[in-house]
Structure 1
Amino acid sequence: MNNTSCPLCGQSNSCEAERSDAVSDCWCFHLPIPAELRSRIPDAHRGACICQNCVQQYWNNKE
């Protein structure tokens, strides 16, 4: 798995903050990523960005 893949689902994480040519804004700056969800990242992939879909599904299931 690389930095462009979500460590939870394997899909693209669409992280703009990790791109060298990024404008310095990313969707993750505007949507809270809960510690509970971050704790599900396997140790080998700690620090990898979770995708917006996984974060949104987490919040939808909390409602």
Structure 2
Amino acid sequence: MEPADPSGTRSDREIFGTWKRCYGLRRMRWRGLAKATAQVHLTAIAYNLKRTMNILAARA
């Protein structure tokens, strides 16, 4: 695994690994490029919302 970036950002590998492990992106739920793209976009939205809530909770 790559060392943590001092700026606090995560590498693409870590993010996609989290998506695969926690959000079920090992398989696509729907067939077709448009639907698979929608699934990835929804996963990104869920990941960012959860991350935002964790950042805001840490500040409080």
The normalised TM-score by structure 1 is: 0.25
Structure (1 or 2) with the larger CA radius of gyration: 2
TM-score, reference length from structure 2:
0.26
Greater helix share, structure number? 2
